[in-house]
């Protein structure tokens, strides 16, 4: 007879064991497999926690790793739980399944066990059942009616795309697992058909904080199930879908639909249906935002207002981001916009050194008037969202070239440095800092030259200029190159600018960082591969390089990186989009995909740059004497 038997050695059973060990209560854990095996055995390869790491707080074992706001991968969770087991060596009988528990005459329980040595029994005064709620997959009845030639997997069995035969895949359900698995398959290049459920989506970050951090602050995780509105029925409610992948981000089914995933609306079963029916296919530009995109915006704000006395609105000054992928432009009245700015500015006071940075992915063609109107609309919309530094693409005014090999046929219009349209952009910028690209005409020694140029302005006028230095393919046929990289001061701190191909050369960003830039704005009109274009933009080799350079240049130089790009098609060039904001560790804080939008992130630039340079300071530890810089032919 033992004092306590705990059935199941998942994290719940282990936690009970930890408490009993501490209290000196004799007990045993009976585990059908091995401790915490569910995490290793029932999660897919690219699995990450949906809850931030700081949530991992078992009795006597709190996550103390380097990334409390990150999301552990499957293997990291397994290692973290293994550490827990090792830390107090709980008394576990592994591969021992409890098949029945009976009350014993005179008190206590008799447990019938299946063990590797055959059936056994155990008597215990008390039994704690900690068998979890997820290890028995729920299979809908219609699954059995599907033709056996169709491979079927339950989410519990899913590991990766290679398990499935080639071709399209139907994912049924958009709870947390369904939405993440659909994304996993989509990113692996599979044609995914997704049958939507009724789980709502949630923005991963709201006002720079993780949605679950908000929920914790609001006391949700301290509320007993019975106290939820609706009581115990709350247990049946489907969670919001969101992911911890890539450092945590939204799952935006609309973006996937635009990128080729096929979505089907839920359709009630009819009598006589043997197989579940797919509802209508939703159009790619589906109104999911209105219908399903339930954001929790109001609630955390209301909480923050109520609770302001108790804690600051933003507790963590760390790098935070929310991805605002929005089709621009969005109109607001000027008065509404001004009011919103005042609100944001007031909030900024509470945000300490946080700067809201917006990097734009958008299409701009040859029509200067249209481009100017679009720029004004984007600035208005970004201002209403509290953006302080806005980075528009290269060639915002007038568009880029249409053919890189022979660009002479269709050239963008040029603007002199004193063109009134540039002054109009500065006036529209007001107290924001705005970077944009255009084709500059300049007279040098009586010769009229054109430059691919970037301009940084605020309402006070021009803050900085850059002329593209590095020229791919035939660009040199129509543009004169720039000859320097110089940082400049802005009201938001020291900034540097690069254009497109400049970022391929590490020396460009390095020069700006050495010149004191804390933020580098990289303005692009970066097209998909000219020689070998992939059918899907995210798989194009130029997409890969574009992303790689953004992260590498930020990390090498320990600076914040705001990368904009053109989208859409101009002549023979198809532009990649993929605007993003990258932190000084190379971590992508916010990004858009191949369609238009603004990637918005709140970054405490000084704090984050200083933090990343505290131990390893790349600029201080340079060894310029060892480097070959000029004068040697490449071998
Ligand atoms: C796909 C997926 C993703 C998740 N993501 C997250 C997340 O990001 N963050 C988060 O906090 N939670 C997440 N969860 C939930 C989390 O996994 C569970 O809440 C947690 O594992 C519950 O712990 P537990 O100890 O109660 O149960 P389990 O971890 O399921 O452990 C139960 C144990 O009991 C054993 N057992 C069962 N029956 C018997 C028996 N008859 N005899 C002996 N042993 C038995 C099992 O073998 C198992 O080891 C996720 C769950 C799933 C399925």
Q: Is the CB of 16 under 6 A from ligand 1?
A: no
H-only helix segments in 222-367: 253-258, 288-291, 298-307, 334-350
Question: At 437, which CATH number?
Answer: 3.60.110.10
If one residue of 5, 10, 49, 158 were mutated to test the ligand 1 pocket, choosing by the most ligand atoms within 8 A of its CB, it would be 10
Rounded to the nearest angstrom, the distance between the alpha carbon of 134 and the centre of ligand 1 is 6
Residues 268 and 380 in one domain: no
Residue pair 303/218 in contact by the 8 Å Cβ criterion? yes
Residues 271 and 373 in one domain: no
Q: Is residue 318 part of a domain?
A: no
Q: Is residue 635 part of a domain?
A: no
Residues 26 and 84 in one domain: yes
Give, using CA atoms, the residue closest to atom 41 of ligand 1.
Answer: 98
Residues 403 and 502 in one domain: yes
Coil, strand, or helix at residue 505?
Answer: coil
Please give the structure tokens belonging to residue 599. 């990637």
Please give the structure tokens belonging to residue 92. 């576990």
Q: Is the CB of 533 under 6 A from ligand 1?
A: no
Q: Which range, of 15-24, 280-289, 449-458, 575-584, averages the lowest pLDDT?
A: 280-289
Q: Is the CB of 31 under 6 A from ligand 1?
A: yes
Q: Is residue 589 part of a domain?
A: yes
Rounded to the nearest angstrom, the distance between the alpha carbon of 495 and the centre of ligand 1 is 49
Residues 550 and 478 in one domain: yes
Could you identify the atom of ligand 1 that is nearest to the CA of residue 37? 49
If one residue of 6, 32, 116 were mutated to test the ligand 1 pocket, choosing by the most ligand atoms within 8 A of its CB, it would be 32
Per-residue pLDDT, averaged over 487-492, amounts to 95
Residues 231 and 107 in one domain: no
Residues 111 and 164 in one domain: no
Could you identify the atom of ligand 1 that is nearest to the CA of residue 8? 34
Q: Is the CB of 130 under 6 A from ligand 1?
A: yes
Rounded to the nearest angstrom, the distance between the alpha carbon of 47 and the centre of ligand 1 is 15
Q: Is the CB of 8 under 6 A from ligand 1?
A: yes
Q: Is residue 343 part of a domain?
A: no
Q: Is residue 330 part of a domain?
A: no
Residue 635: pLDDT band with limits 50, 70, 90: low
Residue 569: pLDDT band with limits 50, 70, 90: confident
Q: Is the CB of 50 under 6 A from ligand 1?
A: yes
Could you identify the atom of ligand 1 that is nearest to the CA of residue 36? 49
Buried b / exposed e over 164-183, threshold 16 CB at 10 Å, is beeeebbbbbbebbbbbbbb
Which residues fall within 8 angstroms of residue 411, CB to CB, at 6 or more apart? Answer: 401, 439, 450, 478
Could you identify the atom of ligand 1 that is nearest to the CA of residue 15? 25
Could you identify the atom of ligand 1 that is nearest to the CA of residue 244? 8
Residues 33 and 108 in one domain: yes
Per-residue pLDDT, averaged over 3-14, amounts to 98
Per-residue pLDDT, averaged over 426-451, amounts to 94
Neighbour count for residue 361 (Cβ, 10 Å): 30
Residues 112 and 169 in one domain: no
DSSP track, 447-465: EEEEEEEEEEEETTEEEEE
Q: Which range, of 132-136, 464-468, 601-605, 617-621, averages the lowest pLDDT?
A: 132-136
Distance CA 230, CA 62 (A): 32
Please give the structure tokens belonging to residue 135. 């290890």
Give, using CA atoms, the residue closest to atom 29 of ligand 1.
Answer: 10
DSSP track, 535-593: SSGGGSHHHHHHHHHHHHHHHHHT-EEEEEEEEEEETTEEEE---EEE-TTS-EEEE--
Q: Is residue 341 part of a domain?
A: no
Rounded to the nearest angstrom, the distance between the alpha carbon of 10 and the centre of ligand 1 is 6
Question: At 88, which CATH number?
Answer: 3.50.50.60
Residues 367 and 505 in one domain: yes
Residue pair 355/605 in contact by the 8 Å Cβ criterion? yes
Rounded to the nearest angstrom, the distance between the alpha carbon of 583 and the centre of ligand 1 is 35
What pLDDT, in 10s, does the model give residues 313-368? 222 222 222 222 222 223 334 444 344 333 433 433 334 478 999 999 999 999 99
Residues 548 and 612 in one domain: yes
- Give me the domain span that covers residue 196: 151-305
Q: Is the CB of 11 under 6 A from ligand 1?
A: yes
Q: Is the CB of 221 under 6 A from ligand 1?
A: no
Share of the chain above pLDDT 70, in %: 85
Q: What is the pLDDT of residue 70?
A: 87
Q: Is the CB of 93 under 6 A from ligand 1?
A: no
Q: What is the pLDDT of residue 138?
A: 85
Domain boundary among 129, 163, 190: 129
Residues 273 and 185 in one domain: yes
Q: What is the pLDDT of residue 268?
A: 63
Q: What is the pLDDT of residue 272?
A: 58
Q: Is residue 47 part of a domain?
A: yes
Structural domain count of the chain: 3
Q: Is residue 420 part of a domain?
A: yes
Q: Is the CB of 582 under 6 A from ligand 1?
A: no
Rounded to the nearest angstrom, the distance between the alpha carbon of 226 and the centre of ligand 1 is 21
Q: Is the CB of 33 under 6 A from ligand 1?
A: yes
User: Could you give the dihedral angle defined by the CA atoms of residues 435, 441, 443 and 449, in that order, rounded to the nearest 10 degrees?
Assistant: 110
Q: Is the CB of 94 under 6 A from ligand 1?
A: no
Q: What is the pLDDT of residue 251?
A: 87
């Amino acid at each position: 007879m033992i004092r306590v038997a705990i059935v199941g050695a998942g994290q719940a059973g282990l936690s009970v064991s930890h408490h009993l060990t501490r209290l000196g209560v004799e007990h045993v854990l009976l585990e059908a497999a091995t401790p915490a095996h569910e995490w290793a055995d029932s999660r897919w390869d690219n699995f990450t926690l949906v809850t931030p790491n700081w949530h991992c707080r078992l009795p006597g074992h709190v996550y103390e790793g380097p990334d409390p706001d990150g999301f552990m991968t499957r293997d990291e969770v397994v290692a973290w739980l293994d550490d827990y087991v090792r830390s107090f060596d709980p008394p576990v009988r592994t591969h021992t399944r409890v098949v029945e528990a009976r009350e014993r005459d005179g008190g206590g329980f008799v447990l019938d066990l299946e063990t590797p040595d055959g059936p056994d029994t155990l008597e215990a005064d008390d039994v704690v059942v900690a068998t979890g709620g997820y290890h028995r997959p729920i299979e809908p009845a219609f699954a059995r009616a599907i033709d056996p030639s169709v491979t079927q997997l339950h989410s519990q069995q899913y590991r990766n795309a290679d398990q499935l035969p080639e071709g399209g895949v139907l994912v049924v359900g958009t709870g947390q697992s369904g939405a993440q698995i659909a994304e996993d398959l989509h990113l692996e290049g599979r044609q995914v058909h997704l049958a939507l459920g009724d789980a709502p989506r949630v923005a991963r970050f709201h006002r720079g904080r993780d949605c679950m951090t908000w929920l914790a602050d609001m006391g949700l995780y301290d509320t007993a199930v019975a106290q939820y509105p609706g009581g115990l029925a709350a247990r049946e409610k489907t969670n919001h879908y969101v992911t911890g992948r890539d450092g945590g981000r939204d799952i935006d089914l609309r973006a996937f639909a635009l990128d080729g995933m096929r979505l089907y609306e839920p359709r009630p079963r009819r009598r006589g249906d043997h197989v579940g029916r797919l509802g209508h296919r939703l159009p790619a530009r589906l109104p999911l935002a209105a219908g399903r995109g339930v954001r929790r915006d109001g609630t955390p704000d209301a909480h923050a207002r109520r609770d302001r006395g108790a804690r600051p609105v933003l507790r963590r000054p760390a790098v935070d981001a929310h991805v605002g992928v929005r089709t621009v432009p969005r109109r607001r009245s000027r008065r509404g916009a001004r009011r919103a700015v005042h609100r944001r500015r007031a909030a900024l006071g509470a945000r300490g050194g946080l700067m809201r940075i917006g990097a734009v992915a958008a299409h701009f063609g040859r029509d200067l008037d249209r481009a100017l109107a679009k720029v004004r609309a984007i600035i208005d919309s970004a201002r209403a969202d509290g953006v302080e530094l806005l980075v528009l693409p290269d060639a915002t005014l007038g568009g880029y070239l249409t053919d890189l090999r022979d660009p002479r046929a269709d050239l963008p219009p040029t603007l002199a440095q004193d063109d009134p349209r540039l002054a109009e952009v500065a006036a529209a910028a007001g107290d924001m800092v705005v970077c944009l690209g255009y084709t500059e005409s300049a007279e040098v020694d009586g010769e009229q030259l054109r430059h691919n140029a970037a301009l940084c302005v605020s309402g006070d006028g021009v803050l900085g200029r850059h002329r593209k230095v590095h020229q791919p393919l035939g660009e040199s046929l129509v543009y004169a190159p720039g000859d320097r990289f110089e940082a400049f001061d802005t009201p938001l701190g020291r900034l540097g600018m690069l254009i497109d191909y400049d970022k391929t050369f590490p020396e460009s960003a390095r020069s700006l960082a050495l010149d004191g830039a804390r933020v580098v704005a990289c303005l692009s009109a970066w097209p998909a591969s000219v020689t070998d274009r992939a059918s899907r933009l995210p798989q194009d080799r130029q997409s890969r390089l574009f992303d790689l350079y953004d992260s590498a240049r930020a990390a090498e130089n320990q600076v914040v990186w705001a990368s904009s790009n053109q989208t859409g098609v101009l002549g023979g060039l198809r532009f990649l989009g993929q605007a993003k904001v990258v932190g000084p560790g190379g971590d992508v804080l916010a990004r858009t995909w191949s369609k238009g939008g603004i990637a918005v992130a709140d970054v405490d630039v000084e704090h984050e740059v200083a933090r990343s340079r505290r131990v390893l300071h790349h600029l201080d530890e340079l060894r310029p004497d060892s480097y070959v810089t000029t004068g040697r032919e490449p071998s």
